[in-house]
Amino acid sequence: MSKYEYIPEPALVKGNHDFASLTKLVTDVNLRPTPKPWYAAMLLANAFLGVFLIAVGYLIWEGTGVWGLMNPVGWGWAIINFVWWVGIGHAGTLISAILFLFRQDWRTAINRFAEAMTIFAVICALMFPGIHVGRIWVIYWVFPIPNQMGMWPNFNSPLLWDVFAVSTYFTVSLLFWYVGLIPDLATLRDKATDKIRKFSYGLFALGWTGSNRAWWNYEKAYMILAGLATPLVLSVHTIVSFDFAVSMIPGWHTTIFPPYFVAGAIFSGFAMVLTLMIVARKIYGMEDIMTNDHMEKMNIIIMVTGSMVGFAYMMEFFIAWYSGVEYEKAIFILRATGPYAWAYWIMMTCNVLSPQFFWFKKLRTSVGFTFFISIVVNIGMWFERFVITVTSLANDYLPSSWDYYSPTIWDVLTYVGTFGIFFTLFLAFLRFLPMVAIAEIKAVLPQADPHNYDEETQEFHPHVVEVPQPKAETV
Amino acid sequence: MSTTEQNSELYGILAEFKNPKALIDASKKVVAAGYDKFDTYAPFPIHGIDKAMSLPKSKLGWIVLTCGLIGFTGAVSMMYWMSVMDYPHNISGKPFFNAPAWVPVTFELTVLLSAFGAVFGMLFLNGLPKLYNPLFNVERFKKATDDGFFVCIEAKDSKFQADLVKELFEEAGATHIEEVYD
Contact yes or no for B96/B83 (Cβ under 8 A) = yes
Given a cut of 70, is residue A470 above it in pLDDT? Answer: no
pLDDT confidence of A305, banded at 50, 70, 90?
A: very high
When mean pLDDT is compared across A188-192, B3-7, B23-27, B64-68, the lowest value belongs to: B3-7
Cβ-defined contact of A207 to B112 (cutoff 8 Å): no
pLDDT of residue A239: 93
The mean pLDDT value for B48-60 works out to 86
- Cα→Cα distances A228→A93, A112, A121, A169, A190, Å: 11, 18, 20, 10, 32
Q: Would you state the pLDDT for residue A474?
A: 65
> Domain boundaries in chain B?
17-43+145-182, 60-125
Minimum Cα–Cα distance from B152: chain A residue: A211
Handedness of CA A179, A184, A188, A189 (dihedral sign): positive
**Could you count the other beta carbons within 10 Å of the beta carbon of residue A275?**
20
The ipTM of this complex is 0.90
- Cis previous bond, A146, omega within 30: no
| Confidence grade of residue A103 (pLDDT, cut at 50, 70, 90) | confident
Count of H-run helices and E-run strands, chain B: 5, 4
Closest Cα in chain B, distance from residue A146 (Å): 10
Task: Indicate the SS3 state at residue B94.
Answer: coil
Task: Show me where the domains of chain A are located.
Answer: 19-136+158-174+220-444
Query: Which of B 3-62 lie inside 8 A of A, CB atoms?
Result: 18-22, 24-25, 27, 39-50, 53, 55, 58, 60-61
B74 touches chain A (CB under 8 A): no
CB contact under 8 A, A235 and B107: yes
Q: Is the pLDDT of residue A2 over 60?
A: no
pLDDT at A309: 92
Is the predicted pLDDT of residue A137 greater than 50, yes or no? yes
- Residues of B with Cβ-Cβ distance to A171 under 8 angstroms: 112, 115
**Residue B51: closest CA among chain A residues belongs to which residue?**
A216
The answer to whether A268 touches A377, Cβ cutoff 8 Å, is yes
Share of chain B above pLDDT 90, in %: 31
User: Which of residues 97 through 126 in chain B touch A, CB cutoff 8 A?
Assistant: 98, 101-102, 104-105, 107-109, 111-112, 114-116, 118-119, 121-123, 125-126
Contact A155 B87 (CB under 8 A): no
User: What is the DSSP pairing of strand B10-17 with strand B149-154?
Assistant: antiparallel
Q: Give the pLDDT score at A44.
A: 95
Q: What is the pLDDT of residue B29?
A: 87
| Arithmetic mean of pLDDT, A153-164 | 91
Residue A208: strand, helix, or coil: coil
Lowest mean pLDDT of A108-112, A226-230, A465-469, name the range. Answer: A465-469
Work out the number of other CB atoms within 10 angstroms of the CB of residue A459.
11
Q: Which residues of A touch B111 (CB under 8 A)?
A: 168, 172, 228, 231-232, 235
Q: Supply the pLDDT for residue B1.
A: 45
> What percentage of chain B's residues is helix, strand, coil (to nearest 5)?
50, 15, 35
Give yes or no for residue A233 having a pLDDT over 80.
Answer: yes
Could you tell me the pLDDT band of residue A105, with boundaries at 50, 70 and 90?
A: confident
Out of 1.20.1630.10, 3.30.360.10, 1.20.120.790, 3.30.1330.30, which CATH number does the structure's domain A19-136+158-174+220-444 have? 1.20.1630.10
**Percent of chain A residues topping a pLDDT of 70:** 97
**Cβ pair B105, A236 in contact under 8 A:** no
Taking the Cβ of residue A171 and every Cβ of chain B, the question of whether any pair is shorter than 8 Å is answered with yes
Q: Give A150's pLDDT tier (boundaries 50, 70, 90).
A: confident
Looking at chain B, which residue has its C-alpha nearest residue A228? B111
> Residue B131: its chain A contacts at CB < 8 A?
202-203, 206-207
DSSP class of residue A466 equals P
pLDDT at B74 over 90: yes
CB contact under 8 A, B104 and A235: yes
Stretch A75-89: mean pLDDT, rounded?
Answer: 91
Q: What is the mean pLDDT of residues A219-244?
A: 92
pLDDT of residue B6: 57
Q: Which tops the pLDDT comparison, B163 or A38?
A: A38
Q: Does B173 touch chain A (CB under 8 A)?
A: yes
Which residue from A175, A442, A458 is facing B119, i.e. has the nearest CB?
A: A175
Position A134 scores a pLDDT of 80
The residue of chain B nearest to residue A224, with distances taken between CA atoms, is B118
pLDDT computed for residue B73 by the predictor = 96
| Mean pLDDT computed over every residue of chain B | 87
Q: What average pLDDT does this structure show over A142-163?
A: 89
- Among A147-156, B67-76, B110-119, where is mean pLDDT lowest? A147-156
Give per-residue burial for A30-67: e unless 16+ CB within 10 Å, then b: beeeeeeeeeebbeebeebbebbeebbeebeeeebebb
Q: Residue A123 above 60 pLDDT?
A: yes
**Strand B176-181 relative to strand B10-17, pairing:** antiparallel
Average pLDDT over all residues of chain A: 89
Give the 3-state secondary structure of B161-179. CHHHHHHHHHHHCCCEEEE
- The pair phi, psi for residue B154, each rounded to 5°, is -85, 150
Q: What is the pLDDT of residue A83?
A: 92
